[in-house]
Structure 1
Amino acid sequence: MTFLTDADVVRIRRRSHAVIIVGQALAGVGMGATFSAAALLAERLSGSAAWSGTATTMSTLGAAAAAVPLAALARRSGRSPALATGAGLAALGAVLGLVATAAVVFPLFLVAMGLLGVGTAVNLQSRFAATDLSEPSRRGRDLAIVVWATTLGAVIGPNLIGPGEALGLRLGLPELGGVFLFTLAAQLVAVTIYRFGLRPDPLKTAERLGVERGAGPVAARPADRGGVRTAILALALSHATMASVMAMTPVHLVDHGATLVIVGLTISLHVAGMYGLSPLWGVLSDRFGREPIIGVGQGLLLAALLMTSFGAESSGWVLTGLIFLGVGWSASTVAASGLVADSADPARRTVVQGRADLSMSLAGAIGAGSAGLVLALIGYAGLSLVATALVAVVLGALAIRTARRPGRAD
């Protein structure tokens, strides 16, 4: 039996990272185009603006439903089949979206959005896949680079609505139906890349390395259940905070006379804040620890909520608050994801990662879904103040964890 050398591990790690980053960027481009047009398509296919939010809800639920099964598949068979399967289901969603749009069948469109949401679950799992062969001192930055790759899709994707519509009309598709073509093409390429590019499989390589070298250089420390709980709580509540306020910001701005240009600029800068600085947070969390950077992220979220609450009547303050909201989400998500990878039992790491993604997606769905009711009852400023309670819970959990004796097992 040939044993893996350090040079072999470095080579496989670099190849895996390149494949994952390319797959993430490709999927992001197609998904960004589809999700940007989803609300408009839902309204047109259903015939009522009241249903416009169901597209986002279904895609979020699809991501939540796929998180644990994809993680289980990765544990059994490796990252390659898990990521390829998820991208394949998202491609099927694009096909059903095309059919639903052409036939004007709203229920089928909702099914399509649920399957497209599986692509989001793939994106979430990809950040953990990047850490399979990472040394503990580099987990944060390796994970963050994959998160950063999403920036490409976030920036380019929404701008493909126009070209997608033009292409669709040339092919005889209904208005906005063409955006599904980009998603279909991107996901099919991603399937190919994941299936044939992730060889050797990084997760299976990590397992082999652990057998060959005992704990191996990819192992972290003994399982830390308290770290897992803190990390999942931070992921879930940070995502709920971001999703609830972000989802209602366009409605609030338009109701207060802002132009669509201002709305678009606000959301674009918010998304840039979510992903643009993720490598920085990865490096800082490697250098100073996961918990301190989660704390920094919560501080940024709190600052954002105070801006959007007390400055709710000012488009400038709301825009600034949304930028801080994105940056705070980024710091918290990168550091908390690193804490999950550090703290989980190596033998059960993929299962724990799947549960973390499930919690994150469900929290986002609940946050965004309930935000409309809160907005109607107490307004945008009140919504922002209510969201500070979520930040307080995470800060409390961090304080409790910090107060424990270092190295204590939970």
Structure 2
Amino acid sequence: MELGNTVVGDIDAVPGSVPGTPPVITAEEQARIHRRTLRVVILSQILGGAGLAAGISVGALLAQDMLGSDSLAGLPTGLFTLGSAAAAFLVGRSTRVLGRRLGLAAGFTAGGLGAVGVVVAAVADSVPLLFISLFIYGAGTATNLQTRYAGSDLAPAEKRGHGTSMAMVATTVGAVAGPNLIDPLGHLADNLGIPTLAGPFLLAAVAYLAAGVTLFLLLRPDPYLLARQIAGDDGPGGGTGPVLKPAGGAWVGAATMILTQMTMVAIMTMTPVHMRAHDHGMGAVGLVIGLHVASMWLPSLVTGRLVDSAGRVPVAVAAGVTLLAAGLTAALAPADSLVLLIVALMLLGLGWNLGLVSGTAMVVDATVPANRPQTQGTVDVGIALSGAVAGLASGAVMTATSYQILGVIGGVLSLLLIPALRWGRQGVRR
């Protein structure tokens, strides 16, 4: 392995290293490798953001058209979130043995193939194929989230929030561009003889596959494997030995991310359906979702440093308050008010961001390299499953009551963050 701008192969070949002992590597060299890792992660996240935007923007609308039912419009979110849970589990477990590069590359590739399947299902009007493809497509969503951990593997403790946030903020570029390309991608799909709402999944297929190739070729040296060697955790057996239990702060971080995910998914999933039912055009839907997604990722420019300076818990509490404001704004906004819907969805994205960055930092703080990826994978499974429940329930709740009631329920749910943080505050390190 050569450290530098050339591709690095076997991590055990770090100069001066012996398996089972920390490699000879200076702090300056570690910092340089970390910066290079962040550049690769940022590029992959730009592509990954474009891929995940398809499911957020038109997944519910495509299902509504193919199934002919509003009550099942939340099903796509539930399916690709279940697929996300499965992928999070597999990526987390495989990372401990194989490192970040192979697991992340495989996850994005699976997501791209799932997007291709959605397009084929729309053309063939095959609901079973749609369901299977959405499940596989969810692997891209999980991988996009798992990639944020690669940004913190080699970061010093006092900069973990920043490392995570830089990986996340790059997603903004693709994730904002994706929803705002709904109209042109719809026209492209029409010209190709593909149903209009399947157009964004064409972009998702290309973006996810490109992200997978980028990580496979460029994420070298593998940041996780190098971090294990630096910590002296790469003894005989590599990543196959027993796993130590993480500290309690990991589960506080998990609770923070799960509750923010449930609130965000429930309200976000049904907003396009609510808008179309009140005569908003697809351009307006794309604008609202695009700004929502921007608010999910772009604040990471600030929130990472805020988590490092102000502390994990205060930022997590701010997440709960912000999500409550989002739910109430969505509930009180007149159905024809595009401006208030934009405000509600931007607050929703900001609250999610605050919860995810602070919760991620708690999980990293409470783990060591030997148990970190497996814990991270388990936590992300919980996040994905909670999102699946929220996505599936949101359509039923809105059909039985209204979008306004859904907004109130989501906002109130986020307040559970405060007692959860109070209960677990002793396990959280600032």
**TM-score (norm: length of structure 1):** 0.87
Asked whether 1:124 is paired with 2:145, we answer: yes
Aligned with residue 370 of structure 1, among 372, 379, 393? 393
Whole-angstrom CA distance in 2 between matches of 1:375 and 1:46: 17
Deviation at 1:223, TM superposition (A): 7.1
Whole-angstrom CA distance in 2 between matches of 1:245 and 1:50: 14
Match of 1:307, SS? helix
Whole-angstrom CA distance in 2 between matches of 1:52 and 1:60: 14
Asked whether 1:396 is paired with 2:419, we answer: yes
Deviation at 1:129, TM superposition (A): 1.4
Give the aligned partner of residue 294 of structure 1: 316
Aligned with residue 380 of structure 1, among 378, 399, 403? 403
Question: Which amino acid letter does the alignment assign opposite residue 347 of structure 1?
Answer: A
Give the aligned partner of residue 298 of structure 2: 276
Query: Structure 2, unaligned stretches of length 5 or more?
Result: 1-15, 18-23, 236-243
Question: Which amino acid letter does the alignment assign opposite residue 255 of structure 2?
Answer: L
Offset from partner CA, 1:271-291 (integer Å, 9 cap, x none): 222122112110000011111
Q: Which moved more, 1:262-271 or 1:24-33?
A: 262-271
Aligned with residue 346 of structure 1, among 345, 358, 369? 369
CA change 1:270–1:182 in 2 (3 A) is closer
CA RMSD of aligned residues (A): 2.9
Instruction: Determine if contact 1:148/1:275 at 8 Å carries over to the other structure.
Output: yes
Give the aligned partner of residue 23 of structure 1: 44
Whole-angstrom CA distance in 2 between matches of 1:88 and 1:104: 24
Give the aligned partner of residue 74 of structure 1: 95
Deviation at 1:204, TM superposition (A): 0.3
Give the aligned partner of residue 323 of structure 1: 346
CA change 1:95–1:406 in 2 (3 A) is closer
Whole-angstrom CA distance in 2 between matches of 1:182 and 1:82: 22
Give the aligned partner of residue 82 of structure 2: 61
Deviation at 1:264, TM superposition (A): 4.3
Match of 2:231, SS? helix
Instruction: Determine if contact 2:252/2:428 at 8 Å carries over to the other structure.
Output: no
Query: Structure 1, unaligned stretches of length 5 or more?
Result: 215-221
Instruction: Determine if contact 1:223/1:346 at 8 Å carries over to the other structure.
Output: no
Aligned with residue 326 of structure 2, among 269, 282, 304? 304
Question: Which amino acid letter does the alignment assign opposite residue 231 of structure 1?
Answer: G
Question: Which amino acid letter does the alignment assign opposite residue 410 of structure 2?
Answer: A
Q: Which moved more, 1:310-319 or 1:233-242?
A: 310-319
Give the aligned partner of residue 198 of structure 1: 219
Q: Which moved more, 1:371-380 or 1:295-304?
A: 371-380
Instruction: Determine if contact 2:74/2:269 at 8 Å carries over to the other structure.
Output: no
Whole-angstrom CA distance in 2 between matches of 1:389 and 1:130: 32
Whole-angstrom CA distance in 1 between matches of 2:84 and 2:193: 31
Q: Which moved more, 1:338-347 or 1:288-297?
A: 338-347
Instruction: Determine if contact 1:143/1:282 at 8 Å carries over to the other structure.
Output: yes
Whole-angstrom CA distance in 2 between matches of 1:71 and 1:405: 23
CA change 1:344–1:193 in 2 (3 A) is same
Match of 2:402, SS? helix
Whole-angstrom CA distance in 1 between matches of 2:343 and 2:251: 31
1:250-269 to structure 2, matched below 5 A, reads 250-255=272-277, 263-269=285-291
Offset from partner CA, 1:245-303 (integer Å, 9 cap, x none): 22233444555666666554433332222122112110000011111111111121122
Whole-angstrom CA distance in 2 between matches of 1:204 and 1:384: 43
Instruction: Determine if contact 1:312/1:381 at 8 Å carries over to the other structure.
Output: no
Offset from partner CA, 1:318-339 (integer Å, 9 cap, x none): 4423222221111111111111
CA change 1:46–1:302 in 2 (3 A) is closer
Match of 1:347, SS? coil
Deviation at 1:34, TM superposition (A): 5.7
Whole-angstrom CA distance in 2 between matches of 1:405 and 1:38: 39
1:227-266 to structure 2, matched below 5 A, reads 227-255=249-277, 263-266=285-288
Give the aligned partner of residue 176 of structure 2: 155
Instruction: Determine if contact 1:33/1:160 at 8 Å carries over to the other structure.
Output: no
Whole-angstrom CA distance in 2 between matches of 1:41 and 1:385: 26
Instruction: Determine if contact 1:62/1:118 at 8 Å carries over to the other structure.
Output: yes
Q: Which moved more, 1:104-113 or 1:73-82?
A: 104-113
Match of 1:211, SS? coil
Instruction: Determine if contact 1:63/1:120 at 8 Å carries over to the other structure.
Output: yes
Deviation at 1:358, TM superposition (A): 0.9
Give the aligned partner of residue 12 of structure 2: none
Whole-angstrom CA distance in 2 between matches of 1:255 and 1:103: 26
CA change 1:96–1:345 in 2 (3 A) is same
Asked whether 1:333 is paired with 2:356, we answer: yes
Give the aligned partner of residue 4 of structure 1: 25
CA change 1:346–1:300 in 2 (3 A) is same
Instruction: Determine if contact 1:301/1:391 at 8 Å carries over to the other structure.
Output: yes
